[in-house]
């Protein structure tokens, strides 16, 4: 069973502050690491697919980094806004695997 | 463009009743298809995946089964639902490294 851990489990952040959270995954047999943004009663929205060690990706105020050697990825949100409130999921794809292994997510609440 | 449909959106079923959730994909051929579930307090768990018609792989032993009668149709079924089958069910298809999710079905078993 693959172990994909996300921390913290939940996070309250003041509007305008920046924040970050972590995804850890197996450092062996790595193929890709996915980040999703998931709002209640909606389908997860893909943010990033990261494949190379040292990758950094950015989408607006959200960015992510990847360290495949030590098995972690960080997601950063700069200048948090209320619409950033959601659950952020990371998912690990190993070589030869046919499906993603998800973490339990970080539930982010932005307080006005 | 590709779209993925799931129905129903919500479902309330008694324990012991059968289940059929349907997922269809448009705009692509021979997709890999997946069923995931999020149970209360848990993360998304892969239940089944399919790489082609009639080809189903199960990730965890459970009370559910899946079938793929057509290239772009994926069905999740149960003969007798358990309370523990309650959760949010997501169908997904994949292209290269990316997976795209359907809108989901909220199943409550009473």
Smallest CA–CA separation between A99 and chain B, in Å?
Answer: 7
How would you write B36-88 as a 3-class SS string?
A: EEECCCCCEEEEEEEEECCEEEECCCCCCEEEEEECCEEEEEECCCCHHHCEE
Residues with pLDDT less than 70, chain B: 61
Distance (Å, rounded) from C-alpha B8 to C-alpha A108? Answer: 28
Instruction: Give percent of chain A with pLDDT exceeding 70.
Output: 97
CB proximity list for A40: less than 8 A, separation 6 or greater: none
Q: What integer is the mean pLDDT of A42-65?
A: 94
Contact B108, B79 (CB under 8 A): no
Q: How do beta strands B19-26 and B3-7 pair? A: antiparallel
Residues of B with a Cβ under 8 Å from any A Cβ are 32, 34, 36, 42-46, 49, 51, 57, 59, 90, 97-104, 106
- Chosen from A6, A34, A43, A93 to mutate, greatest number of chain B CBs within 10 A: A43
CB contact under 8 A, A32 and B51: no
Helix-, strand-, coil-residue percentages of chain B, each rounded to 5: 5, 60, 35
B13-31 tens-digit pLDDT? 999 999 999 999 999 888 9
Q: What integer is the mean pLDDT of A93-97?
A: 79
Band (pLDDT 50/70/90 cuts) for residue A87 is very high
Q: Is A69 exposed, middle or buried (0-12, 13-18, 19+ CB in 10 A)?
A: exposed
CB contact under 8 A, A32 and B101: no
Band (pLDDT 50/70/90 cuts) for residue A32 is very high
Give the residue among A41, A30, A43 at the shortest CA–CA distance from A89: A43
A90 contacts on B by Cβ (under 8 Å) = none
Q: Is A47 helix (H, G, I), strand (E, B) or coil?
A: strand
Residue A56 has pLDDT above 80, yes or no: yes
A91 contacts on B by Cβ (under 8 Å) = 44, 99
**Nearest chain B residue (CA) to A48:** B98
> Per the structure block, which two tokens stand in for A15?
């509007």
Residue A108 has pLDDT above 70, yes or no: yes
pLDDT computed for residue B42 by the predictor: 77
Residue A57 has pLDDT above 70, yes or no: yes
Out of B49, B98, B104, name the one closest to residue A49 (CB).
Answer: B98
Band (pLDDT 50/70/90 cuts) for residue A55 is very high
Residue A1 has pLDDT above 70, yes or no: no
Q: What integer is the mean pLDDT of A22-38?
A: 93
CB contact under 8 A, B101 and A34: no
CB contact under 8 A, A43 and B103: yes
């Amino acid at each position: 069973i693959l172990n994909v851990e996300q921390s913290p489990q939940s996070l309250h952040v003041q509007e305008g502050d920046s924040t970050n959270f972590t995804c850890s995954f197996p450092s062996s047999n790595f193929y890709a690491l996915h980040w999703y943004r998931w709002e209640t009663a909606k389908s997860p929205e893909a943010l990033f697919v990261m494949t190379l060690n040292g990758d950094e990706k950015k989408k607006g105020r959200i960015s992510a980094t990847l360290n495949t050697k030590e098995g972690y990825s960080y997601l950063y949100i700069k200048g948090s806004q209320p619409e950033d409130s959601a659950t952020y999921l990371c998912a690990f794809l190993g070589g030869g695997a046919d499906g993603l292994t998800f973490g339990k997510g970080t539930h982010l609440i932005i307080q006005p | 463009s590709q779209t993925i449909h799931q129905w129903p959106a919500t479902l309330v079923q008694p324990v012991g009743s059968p289940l059929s959730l349907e997922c269809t994909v448009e705009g692509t051929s021979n997709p890999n298809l997946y069923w995931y579930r999020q149970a209360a307090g848990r993360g998304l768990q892969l239940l089944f995946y399919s790489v082609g018609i009639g080809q189903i792989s199960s990730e965890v032993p459970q009370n559910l089964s899946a079938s793929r009668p057509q290239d772009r149709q994926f069905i999740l079924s149960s003969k007798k639902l358990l309370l523990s089958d309650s959760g949010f069910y997501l169908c997904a298809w994949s292209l290269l490294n990316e997976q795209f999710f359907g809108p989901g079905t909220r199943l409550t078993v009473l």
